[in-house]
Amino acid sequence: HWDLPQSLQDLGGWTNRVMAEYFEDYAKVLFTNFGDRVKKWITINEPTSIVFGYSLPLSMAPNVLTPGHGQYLAMHTILLSHARAYRLYDREFRETQQGKIAIAPSLTWITPLTNTEEDNDAAERALQFSIGWILHPIYNRDGDYPPLIKEWVEKKSVKEAYYRSRLPSFTQEEIQMLKGSVDFLGINHFTTFQASNTFEGKKMPYLKDADVELSQLPAWPCGAATWNKMVPWGLRKLLNWIAREYANPLVLITENGYSDNGQLEDVDRIRFINSYLNEMMKAIYEDGCNVFGYTAWSLMDN
């Protein structure tokens, strides 16, 4: 993540829509030079990891904190960049190179903290604000951001005395360009969170507009990274939700794995990968989810 050239960051980075034009130019260089050998492309890996650098105080590059604005502007440009690269491949390279194009968001399963109606609604809002934010413009037949996100961000914007929503708008041409702009879906998945209904989420500022607070059970096993808790059943639930929401798209698990402390006897990592693979196989063979591959995180320790 976060390898944007400084000259482009000086223009505002991903919050500047001109980035989509530069990204298309960059994609053309890659397709031209490597497309005869590379047959599966990921345009953007983990868009949310990029946009959090414009909204969350987590020291992620570029660490330009404009919460409530920056994440929406950056994601908007990233989605347009992805779509432009996809349409470029269609126009100039697909016929000769016969490759496939995808985007690979990091998708977390989110389950209600309790079985109350409020927490069930909160979990659905969290899924739309985290997954639908990226995938609804691509997979939904109407395109655009999910109506729920548009409604909630506009409501919060009005409350804050803005004369229009903080969520950017797509033109009709952009909506059409984004719709169907993948040949498969890459999914990075590591863990699960619980959602509770709250007033302007406290722990996760990016869910402030959704009135959701996320948490994890202390009893869930975790590795060297405290966020990387082992909740294998969450992968199966995630794959089923995506299948229902987006007409069972073709999926490649592009990242799934476990961080330990570097010891050679990594039994916990083996347990993690084994349990997640089992849940993935259940999603495929018992539930009918359209998953065609799995890539462990990662080829090298990082």
Q: Is 46 a catalytic residue?
A: yes
Closest CA to 92 of 32, 36, 181, 40: 32
Q: Do 65 and 55 meet the contact criterion of CB atoms below 8 Å apart?
A: yes
Beta carbons within 8 Å of 247's beta carbon, 6+ residues apart: 139
Cα–Cα distance for residue pair 16/184, rounded to 1 Å = 27
Among 117, 255, 265, 286, the one annotated catalytic? 255
Among 21, 46, 151, 265, the one annotated catalytic? 46
What is the number of other CB atoms lying within 10 angstroms of the CB of residue 299?
7
Q: Is 245 a catalytic residue?
A: no
Per residue, the 3-state secondary structure of 60-99, as one string, reads CCCCCCCCCCHHHHHHHHHHHHHHHHHHHHHHHCHHHHCC
Provide the CA 96 distance to its chain's centre, in angstroms.
30
Cα–Cα distance for residue pair 106/287, rounded to 1 Å = 22
Beta carbons within 8 Å of 150's beta carbon, 6+ residues apart: 144, 165, 167
Q: Do 268 and 258 meet the contact criterion of CB atoms below 8 Å apart?
A: yes
Active site residues: 46, 255
